Structure 1
Amino acid sequence: MPESAPRFALPEFTRSLRTFASPEALASDDHARLFGPLLAARTSAERVQGVDARLAAFDATRLRGELQRALEEIARAREPRSDPDRRALAASLDDAAAVARSALDAVAAAAAAVRAATSDAARAAAWPAWTSAVGALFEGTDRILRALLDGRPRSGGAPRAPVANVVALAVLALALAAPLAAPLAAQRVTLRVSAVRPESLLARGFDVVGAERGSALIVADARDRARLAQFGWSGSEVRSLRAAVLPGAATIPKPYRDYDDSTRGIRVWIDSIARANPTKVSVDTLGLSYEKRPMLAVKIGPKGDSPARPNVMFVSTYHAREWAATEMAERLITYLVTTSDARVDSLLQTRDIWIVPVANPDGYEYTFTGDRLWRKTRSPQAGGAVGVDMNRNHHGDWGLDSIGSSTDPNSEIYRGPSAASEIETRNIEAFHAAHPPVVAMTYHTYAGLIMWAPGDIYGAVPADLPAYQTVAGTNAHSAVIDHLPGSTRTFYSPSESWTLYTTNGDYSDYTALTFGAISFTEELSSGYGIQGYYGFEFPADTAQLRQLFDDNLPFALDLIESARDPSTYFSPTTGHRPSAVQLESMSPEVRVTVPAALATSATLTAGSPLSFHLDSTGGAKWFRRLVASAGPRPTQLRLTLGGASQNFSVLGYGGAEATDTGWTLTGFKRDTTSSWAGKFSWHIGLSAAANELRSPVYAIPAGIDTVTVMFWTHYDGSGFDEIPDGRVRISTDGGQTYNPLARVQGFAPAWYPVRATVGGVAGKKLVVSFASDLLSWWVDEVAVVAHGAVQVAPTSAARALQPSENPVKRSVVWFQWPWGTDVGDLHAYDMTGRLLWKATVTDGGPVKWDLAAAGLPNGVYVVIARSGGKTQRLKLFVTRDGR
């Protein structure tokens, strides 16, 4: 049933509340503490597809935990010094929350009744009881807020102003009264806040920039320190490896450049590289910033625009303090201008490549003269505040909620009074309208992430996911390997940007929704090196900046190359190509992505024809998602598309239900409070002990080539860390040995689907294994589905044998097989003719050669591909550092 169906509508839960919209409530911090999770759930429920997804948005277990955390934070904030008074207040708050907790029980029961219904009519009949229970939850929460404002839940006697709050307010008043002309005192610093979840700090408007075990990192000024005290929290300053220059200093640490310096600033550097390369480089002005600085875009390649050349956009440094992002843009410009090889020359002639080194020139300059950790623009705002977060100011999904952006002008994620209120944002949007991008990238620091739209709703997955994962890879095989010494990451994690935190009004969502662009946000570096944390202050070290660029260059080149057609592109870095058909889920709903041009003519059959709706989440220019209800756990699916058919056969399901036998649980337990389908899911908490969820053995028929493993999941990790994570492995020998299949990490409080495909399994004995490394992880509705060979773009003629890079600077090189699905082999020889490596190709490649595992030195090698009577060869140059 489509989400717009009247029988499954969401009523307005807040209209009748007594306290919710009162001025005294809106002015209270307790309003955000108590209602923030409920409003976020309501927003998610409105935006997601399907009844089950709406139920999941109001997951009772998660909301019960949020309510408990809110009550604990209120007690700490009001009674920070007296343990007996705090305990008494907490007990009184528990009494006030009785109605809300009872409503949560009703929400869980009503949701289970809706899920248990076996027809749309039965679900519609159960739906009002669920919405009534959610309404009662809002009412119960409103009662808690009213009791707090009335002063009733207090430890003894008449209402009184807690001493901690009075002191905090006095500190805040002093902070507000401090003169702006005190540059060192006004400097923002990074604080480590212990025993507070990053999500709690984000919900209260703090600038959360990292997470460590048991603590969160925030960038804070004097106002933020005072606000921390109001909540009963405190932070210790983190001393970073400063790449900074103190305000007023005479020199800027090379190789960094400020914007205005007349000898080596950004503007001068751009002019100089354009003058030195007049046939390759041209410069355009997007417009002037608020402080009248020219916003510059560098074009690499032929002058002028051509409809035959797709537009590629790179935009750096939305946030002023992120100097290494500008350095990445400068180095990419230099590389494209100075490198002459067949691939780069071809890209420059067939793409319009635009690079904006600094999107926020006023804020960027201010980080060299006023405050190293300044983030926003420099325009005056209401109440004496300064600046807007440009990456919350774009059209598209601007102002969707006050979690992914803020209405507070003092907040670091202030979205501005209206969409594109900032002149810098308007200039960027006008430039993009004149040069509509096919692919786009915005560089930020830091976290070691490759993120894409949508970023505004937890659990939302773009219909263009096959194109995104082709270029960026997955957590099992990322496009970016982190080689920086001392980094806390080994690779950049590719995922929807909400796995870090939700955002709205950001660049990636704007370009995806407006132009259908395959649009990425990359958070460069983990923020840690050999000497510890540096955060935004990436060391002013040429060798490390070069390594940062080298790590990210293959991804950038693939992105440029993919602009010709993201729906069929083969990435030599990840070894991926989009499948024309990608099955994401069989149950409780069928979800399959198909080429956008063919979507409306598709048919789905699961025993009988299925009706479906088209999902265009995240832009959906290249692919569309077919979403249908096929009843409980269909065993067969047939997709007809463009005159061809694809058959899918389910080998087995698993989801913790009583009928799901044969699964082995070590550490995992059946969870009765949160499920995506049926009544139960599997869950493991925060445990360092050995654990595993293991499937039965599936005997793959001899005629089956390919299997896709899919499951629904949510988890409580951190987007800032590589660990905790959850890992999925696959065995094709009955459980004797395993290979990595998929990996999840980050923060995902809403259910969403994960899938991974493996080929060459005919006649094998397959086992799937799930294991957690400190991740609180829920897994449900696992399906193991057999189908034909992974579909790829047709290849009517042979391509050239193509390595992922040449010369090779990485530990692994991938080869694109030149003859489609024809079988054959690859051999590699040294210059004496000695055979070093061989591989058989049966499914069209790509083919991986692990140079590090082979222990090969730098040098020249000959690679030969053979298929039938056809032969291709190439010389491979290996120039790895340290070899």
Structure 2
Amino acid sequence: MKLSFATPLLASLAVSVAAAPSPEAKSYDGYKVVRVKTSGNPSAVEAKLSSLSYEEWAHEHQFIDIVLAPDQLNSFEALGLDSHVMHEDLGDSIAAESSTTQKWKRQADDLAWYDSYHSYADHLEYYKDLHKLFPKNSKIITSGKSYEKRKITGLHLWGKGGPGKPAVLYHGTVHAREWISSKTVEYIALQLIKGYKDKDKLVQSFLDSYDFYIIPVVNPDGFVYSQKSDRLWRKNRQPPPSGSCIGRDINRNWEFGWNANALGASTDPCSQVYKGEKPSDSPENHGLDKLVRKLRDGAGIKLYIDWHSYGQYILSPYGYNETLYAPELGKWTKAASLVSETIRDSSDARTTFTFGPSGATLYTTTGAAPDHVYSIGGADFSYTIELRDTGDFGFVLPPAQIKPTAVEQWEGQKVLLSLLDEVFFDGEGAAL
């Protein structure tokens, strides 16, 4: 259904898709993505895989997702591992991901935006269009610059009484290849604006109670590189002090817990989880942390969410310690359970989200954002949300799943935002 407000047509009809790869972009033609089951013994599976050359996509206790080049396929089959194919030909999947028959009208209320992926330049234009829908209650903001001097750009939204309320802070596209995260937080921004303008009492209560700071792409250099040069790029584009491996993992570079243990990140610049030489030594993290501390020292941070893909998880602190639990874990878990239930019941796919403390539920992470924004930023609620899916497509999520993913997350956020001031504990401190 067409929304009840409109913005002027800013450009002629045009197909808007993710930026076309450059001629020298890494080709994944003929590559397979495979989920290998570990049966609870990942070390044994890794030992067998050590004879191969492969790229790891994801690694949990029960499975390892890997990318295999064509010349490794026969050797992999010979290992006889319990596995299933996620992408038969990753090159074909990437090509399909970048094609669309939909036309986006360059109107922020045109939901065709959520039928395909888009270039970073288009994302920046979309923020401007969202701001024009809500000019008296929004502002384009920046949180520093990236290594390649791109502004880290987002939106600040507020309701009656002007800005200055406790903050809700959303980060997306921390890891460059996780394209679905930017679309999801943009959809939430659109629904907040639409609901407020349409006098939806629930949405009005959100914006009248909290200031929303929404940064859909906090890793712009990596995002552009993933669109132009290597679809599977994860880190930023910052060179190491020495050597040829590029990039820091922004989500292992936060100050809190940065050096807590040797399991949650790597000191190897070639690793996908390279944590940097010291905390916040990536310009992206430095700017994001500066905003976190500014919000903390103002009206405070009510809710922080770091949006990622994939796996379908709602994860709370702590990530750096599997057995250390925060005093707020009871209320975080109760809220996450209600969000998970709402997402499942609102989705035709009955999408199921697992929830719990990050280290105990998924794996150990040091220098991660939710731990930092809770412990240093003082956030009342702090989560990582890992979006769709659970192992059919992974990072290369088909465009047909963009809108359903965003819609179900909005349903979940409406519940979560309604719960932020609820009491989850009885008089003796037990979770209700």
- Does the alignment reach a TM-score above 0.5? yes
Contact 1:467 / 1:578 at 8 angstroms: preserved in 2? yes
CA separation in 2, counterparts of 1:316 and 1:252? 26
Pair 1:494-2:355 in alignment: yes
Pair 1:408-2:268 in alignment: yes
CA separation in 2, counterparts of 1:500 and 1:447? 10
Equivalent residue number for residue 364 of structure 1: 223
CA separation in 1, counterparts of 2:163 and 2:281? 31
AA aligned opposite 1:445: S
Contact 2:29 / 2:89 at 8 angstroms: preserved in 1? no
CA separation in 2, counterparts of 1:222 and 1:403? 31
CA drift at 1:368: 1.5
Contact 1:404 / 1:456 at 8 angstroms: preserved in 2? yes
Equivalent residue number for residue 386 of structure 1: 246
1:448 to 277, 293, 312: 312
CA separation in 2, counterparts of 1:450 and 1:241? 30
CA drift at 1:269: 0.6
CA drift at 1:504: 0.7
Pair 1:280-2:280 in alignment: no
Report the CA distance shift for 1:294/1:379 in structure 2 as closer, same or farther (over 3 A): same
Q: How does 1:46-57 map to 2 (within 5 A)?
A: none
Q: How many residues align?
A: 378
Look up the SS of the partner of 2:171 in the other structure: strand
CA separation in 1, counterparts of 2:203 and 2:281? 38
AA aligned opposite 1:419: P
Contact 1:466 / 1:582 at 8 angstroms: preserved in 2? no
1:462 to 326, 333, 342: 326
Contact 1:312 / 1:352 at 8 angstroms: preserved in 2? yes
Deviations 1:776-832 (A, max 9, x none): xxxxxxxxxxxxxx6xxxxxxxxxxxxxxxxxxxxxxxxxxxxxxxxxxxxxxxxxx
Equivalent residue number for residue 508 of structure 1: 370
Report the CA distance shift for 1:281/1:221 in structure 2 as closer, same or farther (over 3 A): farther
RMSD: 3.8
Deviating above 4 A after TM superposition, structure 1's stretches of 4 or more consecutive aligned residues are: 185-189, 194-199, 201-206, 210-213, 219-223, 232-237, 240-247, 249-254, 302-307, 482-487
CA separation in 2, counterparts of 1:406 and 1:196? 26
Equivalent residue number for residue 209 of structure 1: 58
Look up the SS of the partner of 2:417 in the other structure: helix
2:412 to 555, 577, 582: 555
Look up the SS of the partner of 2:394 in the other structure: coil
Contact 2:269 / 2:276 at 8 angstroms: preserved in 1? yes
CA separation in 2, counterparts of 1:278 and 1:187? 48
CA drift at 1:428: 0.5
CA separation in 2, counterparts of 1:327 and 1:345? 22
Equivalent residue number for residue 191 of structure 2: 335
Contact 1:257 / 1:266 at 8 angstroms: preserved in 2? no
Equivalent residue number for residue 89 of structure 1: none
CA drift at 1:417: 1.5
CA separation in 2, counterparts of 1:240 and 1:301? 46
Contact 2:41 / 2:61 at 8 angstroms: preserved in 1? no
Report the CA distance shift for 1:240/1:562 in structure 2 as closer, same or farther (over 3 A): farther
Contact 2:87 / 2:93 at 8 angstroms: preserved in 1? no
Pair 1:537-2:400 in alignment: no
CA drift at 1:182: 5.9
Deviations 1:377-413 (A, max 9, x none): 1122242101111111111000222211111111111
Q: How does 1:259-338 map to 2 (within 5 A)?
A: 259-261=119-121, 265-302=122-159, 306-307=163-164, 309-338=165-194
Normalised by the length of structure 1, the TM-score is 0.39
CA separation in 1, counterparts of 2:291 and 2:93? 32
Look up the SS of the partner of 1:331 in the other structure: helix
Report the CA distance shift for 1:252/1:295 in structure 2 as closer, same or farther (over 3 A): farther
Equivalent residue number for residue 157 of structure 1: none
Contact 2:56 / 2:64 at 8 angstroms: preserved in 1? no
Report the CA distance shift for 1:364/1:500 in structure 2 as closer, same or farther (over 3 A): same
AA aligned opposite 1:191: V
Equivalent residue number for residue 7 of structure 2: none
Look up the SS of the partner of 1:394 in the other structure: coil
CA separation in 2, counterparts of 1:252 and 1:418? 46
Report the CA distance shift for 1:399/1:244 in structure 2 as closer, same or farther (over 3 A): farther
Q: Which runs of 5+ in 1 are unaligned?
A: 1-179, 571-576, 584-755, 757-789, 791-883
CA separation in 2, counterparts of 1:290 and 1:246? 29
Q: Which is richer in strand?
A: 1
Equivalent residue number for residue 233 of structure 2: 374
Q: How does 1:724-739 map to 2 (within 5 A)?
A: none
CA separation in 2, counterparts of 1:216 and 1:355? 32
Equivalent residue number for residue 26 of structure 2: 183
1:347 to 188, 206, 209: 206
Look up the SS of the partner of 2:344 in the other structure: coil
Look up the SS of the partner of 1:418 in the other structure: coil
Equivalent residue number for residue 108 of structure 2: none
2:284 to 392, 404, 424: 424
Contact 2:145 / 2:152 at 8 angstroms: preserved in 1? yes
2:302 to 438, 444, 447: 438
Q: Which runs of 5+ in 2 are unaligned?
A: 1-22, 103-112
AA aligned opposite 1:369: K
CA drift at 1:199: 4.2
Contact 2:252 / 2:367 at 8 angstroms: preserved in 1? yes
Q: How does 1:78-97 map to 2 (within 5 A)?
A: none
CA drift at 1:353: 0.9
Contact 2:248 / 2:282 at 8 angstroms: preserved in 1? yes
CA separation in 2, counterparts of 1:187 and 1:384? 27
Deviations 1:331-385 (A, max 9, x none): 0011000113111112212211111111111111222211222111112224210
CA drift at 1:525: 2.0
Look up the SS of the partner of 2:243 in the other structure: helix
Equivalent residue number for residue 17 of structure 2: none
AA aligned opposite 1:318: V
CA separation in 1, counterparts of 2:287 and 2:161? 19
CA separation in 2, counterparts of 1:526 and 1:482? 17
AA aligned opposite 1:553: W
Q: How does 1:109-148 map to 2 (within 5 A)?
A: none
AA aligned opposite 1:326: S
CA separation in 1, counterparts of 2:418 and 2:338? 19
CA separation in 2, counterparts of 1:206 and 1:250? 25
Contact 2:238 / 2:247 at 8 angstroms: preserved in 1? yes
Contact 1:448 / 1:526 at 8 angstroms: preserved in 2? yes
AA aligned opposite 1:184: S
Pair 1:192-2:35 in alignment: yes
CA drift at 1:216: 2.6
Deviations 1:557-580 (A, max 9, x none): 3443445x4xxx15xxxxxx3334
Equivalent residue number for residue 604 of structure 1: none
Q: How does 1:360-759 map to 2 (within 5 A)?
A: 360-381=219-240, 382-436=242-296, 437-473=301-337, 478-481=341-344, 490-498=351-359, 499-517=361-379, 518-527=381-390, 533-541=392-400, 544-563=401-420, 565=421, 569=422, 577-583=424-430
Deviations 1:519-569 (A, max 9, x none): 0001112335xxxx111122211xx43332332224323443445x4xxx1
CA separation in 2, counterparts of 1:392 and 1:435? 21
Contact 1:450 / 1:522 at 8 angstroms: preserved in 2? yes
Contact 2:319 / 2:366 at 8 angstroms: preserved in 1? yes
Structure with more relative contact order (C-alpha pairs < 8 Å, separation 6 or more): 2
CA separation in 2, counterparts of 1:303 and 1:390? 35
Look up the SS of the partner of 1:365 in the other structure: helix
CA separation in 2, counterparts of 1:357 and 1:336? 15
AA aligned opposite 1:523: E
AA aligned opposite 1:512: Y
AA aligned opposite 1:314: Y
Pair 1:218-2:218 in alignment: no
CA drift at 1:448: 1.3
Larger gyration radius, structure 1 or structure 2: 1
AA aligned opposite 1:294: K
